[in-house]
Amino acid sequence: MKNQVTKLRKKSGKTFLFPLTKSIILLAIAGCTLNQTATSPTQASSSTQPVTNTTTKQTQSSPSQANFRQVTVLQGLERPWGIAWLPDGAMLITERPGRLRIVRNGKLDPTPIPGVPEVLAVNQGGLLDVAVHPNFAQNRFIYLTYAHGTDQANRTRVARARFDGKTLQDLRVIFEVNRTKSGGQHFGSRMLWLPDRTMLISIGDGGNPPVQLDGQLIRQQAQNLQSHLGKIVRINDDGSIPKDNPFVGNNNANPAIWSYGHRNIQGMTFDPVNNRVWVNEHGARGGDELNLVQAGKNYGWPIVTYSRDYATGEPISQKTSQPGTVNPQLFWTPAVAPSGLVFYNGDRFPQWRGNLFSGGLVSQDVRRITLDKAGNVSSQETIKISQRVRDVQQGPDGLLYILTDEQDGQLIRLEPTAQN
């Protein structure tokens, strides 16, 4: 079945949509997501109906800017990375050097929470994401992702611990990447709970050239189904492997793998309206992607990509489409370095309900991405932050919270103005 999709091209500061053809199929993602498989990666999504030429909004100050204000809630955070809320409204924030902080009633406790595991805080490594168990009120479990090891042999780990309100106790490693690597790049490490209380975890491909593994560039691990590198994995809350993972029973693949062909995902979110999982993913010198996660599917890296080699500027692959790989719903060139992603379904910004918000490290902004009823990208607007945006999340109060990845990092809240 052939359908029209759109391809974004920048010209004179604007982004235009042009029709392009690709095919889609539908597949269930553990009962949680609509899947769309494509043979041609494009800068917009697939659709069962033709998409007409449309100019998207990509401005430094969007028209909706008058409807909200940016409020600096906290300052003085050192390279904050992840944020999560406890049932009582307290906020947990990770700092990459290895500290877990708690914010109660808007005030940062000056003493970090004890009991955090030792981390490798080199380059992109350190203490990364934090997640709270959906049943925290009963089991007190929180989860941490972090870089573990040495500069020459390291990997991403996931640990679970009980939080008694003061300290972490009974900390246990429940998952670790099955290959070690050198250097301090591409740990991935975003966590996302699905409605069935299984967890998705993004794992980076291991790094840029010249880093190698098994006699080849380490990025090739993203296509190796026996390696966790360059994948999204899915685990139960105790670290065991769900029986319905797509590669369970396949002797040629690791059973934890959920999807593959990823470079370095640092944003994941669940759309409860349409039961879909969205991710954003770093490219190289452009080719950053917004994708819909699909069980068992190949997202192409590095054999299909719009990315370019950092050293030479040449395309990493001559292919931007290939049968058997899934198209991005949107890609950005030049790079925005996406990190942090949330599907907004709150009531404080009714005009934003159903939109995606994607942070940008290089672009130093948040992209508000609008979707049509079929889940196709229809437009995007820029909310300028003027700091490296590491994470974007919706709080239990229905407001949007932004972490900035700076030595003097901030927690910023977007609030509606009085007239909104």
Known catalytic residues are: 186
SS3 350: helix
Query: In the beta sheet, which residues pair with residue 298?
Result: 260, 325
Task: Give the integer Cα–Cα distance in Å for 201 and 90.
Answer: 24
Buried b (16+ CB within 10 A) or exposed e, 307-319: bbeeeeeeebbee
Cα 148 to Cα 277: distance, rounded to the nearest angstrom: 27
* Residue 17: CA count within 13 A, CB half-sphere: 24
User: What is the layout of strands, in order, in the sheet containing 55-56?
Assistant: 2-11, 14-23, 55-56
> Which residues neighbour 407 within 8 Å (Cβ) at sequence distance 6 or greater?
78, 79
Q: Which of 263, 293, 267, 264 has the alpha carbon at shortest distance from 280?
A: 267
Helix, coil or strand: residue 1: coil
CA distance 277 to 39: 20
Cα–Cα distance, 200 to 293 (Å, whole number): 10
Q: Are 38 and 46 in contact (CB under 8 A)?
A: yes
What is the 3-state composition of the chain as percent helix, strand, coil, each rounded to the nearest 5? 5, 45, 55
Q: Which residue from 144, 140, 159, 235 is spatially nearest to 196, judged by alpha carbons?
A: 235
420 contacts 67 by C-beta, under 8 angstroms: yes
